[in-house]
Amino acid sequence: NAGVTQTPKFQVLKTGQSMTLQCAQDMNHNSMYWYRQDPGMGLRLIYYSASEGTTDKGEVPNGYNVSRLNKREFSLRLESAAPSQTSVYFCASSGTHSGANVLTFGAGSRLTVL
């Protein structure tokens, strides 16, 4: 009963390096999301995927790409990391809970770009 699993939990990059954050859910949810969390800014949506095979931009998509590999997996890629991308990244999936379309979050990935 893992829910949403994110890897890695921590990562330090140098400016210009690339990396991929992995996310997998085992709840058979159709929709998946990537958020970033910065102090005082709340959670901001980067990209989301309403269903397998579709992806859409959220509020802050610049500098990121995503892949919905299959129904379970949704990855986030930073092609050329910048210090402004230092943040905590959360993957989430959504399913119905007591009639509400509820987000279930992963544990988060803390990324530092030097």
Positions that interact with other proteins (CB under 8 A): 31, 35, 40-45, 48, 50, 56, 59, 90, 94, 97-108
Q: What is the DSSP letter of 20?
A: E
Minimum CB distance to other proteins, residue 85 (Å): 19
Q: Are the C-beta atoms of residues 45 and 107 closer than 8 Å to each other?
A: no
Minimum CB distance to other proteins, residue 9 (Å): 11
* Beta carbon nearer to other proteins, 11 or 17: 11
* Beta carbon nearer to other proteins, 44 or 71: 44
Minimum CB distance to other proteins, residue 42 (Å): 4
* Beta carbon nearer to other proteins, 42 or 53: 42
Residue in 33, 56, 31, 59 with CA at minimum distance from that of residue 44: 59
Work out whether the CA dihedral 29, 20, 106, 101 comes out positive or negative: negative
Q: How many angstroms separate the CA atoms of 46 and 76, rounded? A: 9
Q: How many angstroms separate the CA atoms of 77 and 28, rounded? A: 23
* Beta carbon nearer to other proteins, 64 or 90: 90
